[in-house]
Amino acid sequence: MNSGIKKLSRYRRHRFARPALLVVALISMGATFQVASALPSTTRMETTAQSTLIEEGKRIFAQGCSSCHGLNAEGSGIAPSLIGVGAASVDFQVGTGRMPMADMSQQAMRKTPIYNAEQTAALAAYVASLAPGPDAINEAQLTFERDGNTAEGGELFRTNCAMCHNFAGQGGALTQGKYAPTLMGVDAKHIYEAMITGPQSMPVFSDKTITPEEKLSIIKWIKAAEKEPNLGGASLGRVGPVTEGLLVWTFGLGLLIGIAVWLTVKAK
């Protein structure tokens, strides 16, 4: 071994040593790149359709989103970078009509979506192509009717969600005009995507914090709450005692005083 090093050492000041080293370095570098870029090329045939979708998404993005999020979704002073947010985030934000925003208010409001399902999918594919991120949820994954547990979902909801979204998912106020929106009438898919992407003020609930089965239970509970009849009569908005107090002072006491006045007038 010693003799081998000595041999190498003998040639280290050879006049071809430096060019030879350079050639070796360039070849190894080129080979690495070649191997790395060759890896996706094995699936190139299958993703032809995908790349047209990405092209379509890029076109829509340039038209409808780039004025705020930048031509390459790199973000700007008024809007965040979308590199790495994933398809789930796009599907949630665009699918619920939050994006594109109507105005620069405290937070994006849910409204009628501007883009249809295909356009949303194209946008999602484009943003997902920029860098990996959470995938959009498809209907096959939403097996909450089969795999969810309503009561357990309720417990999880009260522990993790009720502090902002209220005990019955009616929504609640946050600071400076921000708010947790109502969860009534929200697609199961969008609820799931909100949990994994944490839109706006909402935290991300990763699969380690709340497992996929638990997420399905939460969705099942929300859907049950949505369908639950108002067992005690008019719900008064399911917002607690404020509306109850309002009703007792207006209708309750108002009616009783009205009757008292009527009784005294009647007596005369």
Partner 1 sequence: MKKSERIAGNVAGYVDDRTGAAKWLRKNLTKVFPDHWSFMLGEIVLYSFIILLLSGTFLTFWFDPSQRDVIYQGSYEPLKNIEMSASYASTLHISFDVRGGLLMRQIHHWAALIFMAGMIAHLMRVFFTGAFRKPREANWLIGVGLVTLGIVEGFLGYSLPDDLLSGTGIRIAEAIIQALPVVGSYLAFFAFGGAFPGHVFIPRIFTVHVLLLPGIFLALITIHLMLVWYQKHTQYPGPGRTEKNVVGYPLMPIYMAKAGGFFFIVFGVTALLGAVASINPIWLYGPYNPGQISAGSQPDFYMGWLDGLVRMAPPIETHAFGHTISWNILIPGLIIPGILFTLMALYPFIESWMTGDKNEHHLLDRPRNNPNRTAIGAMSLAFILVILINGGNDIIATHFALTINQIMWFTRIGVIVIPPITFVITKRICLSLQRADREKVLHGRETGRLVMLPHGEFIEVHEELTPAQKFTLTQHEQNRALEVPASDANGVLNPQGLKGKLRARFSQAHVEQIPAPTESEAKALEGGHH
> Binding to partner 1 by residue 147, rule CB under 8 A?
no
Residues 151, 143: Cα–Cα separation, whole Å: 16
Residues 174, 27: Cα–Cα separation, whole Å: 58
Give the range of 68-76, 186-194, 196-204, 255-263 binding partner 1 by CB under 8 A: 255-263
> Binding to partner 1 by residue 173, rule CB under 8 A?
yes
Residues 79, 98: Cα–Cα separation, whole Å: 13
> Binding to partner 1 by residue 162, rule CB under 8 A?
yes
Residues 123, 117: Cα–Cα separation, whole Å: 10
Among 98, 154, 205, 214, binds partner 1 (CB under 8 A): 154
**Size of interface with partner 1, in residues (CB under 8 A):** 59
Give the contact letters, 63-82, x = binds to partner 1 (CB under 8 A), - = no: --------------------
Give the contact letters, 192-231, x = binds to partner 1 (CB under 8 A), - = no: -----------------------------x--xx--x-xx
Question: How many residues does this entry show for the chain?
Answer: 268
Q: Tell me if residue 94 falls in helix, strand or coil.
A: helix
| Torsions phi, psi for 104 (to 5 deg) | -85, 60
Among 172, 187, 198, 226, binds partner 1 (CB under 8 A): 172
Tokens at residue 180, please?
């947790």
Residues 169, 125: Cα–Cα separation, whole Å: 31
> Binding to partner 1 by residue 102, rule CB under 8 A?
no
Among 47, 119, 150, 201, binds partner 1 (CB under 8 A): 150
Give the residue with the Cβ less far from partner 1, 61 or 157: 157
Q: Cα dist. 178→6, 171, 174 in Å? A: 73, 11, 5
Triad 67, 72, 78: Cα angle to 5°:
40
Summarize as ranges the residues that interact with partner 1 (CB under 8 A): 106, 150-151, 154-155, 158-159, 162-168, 170-177, 179-180, 221, 224-225, 228, 230-236, 238-245, 247-249, 251-253, 255-257, 259-261, 263-264, 267-268
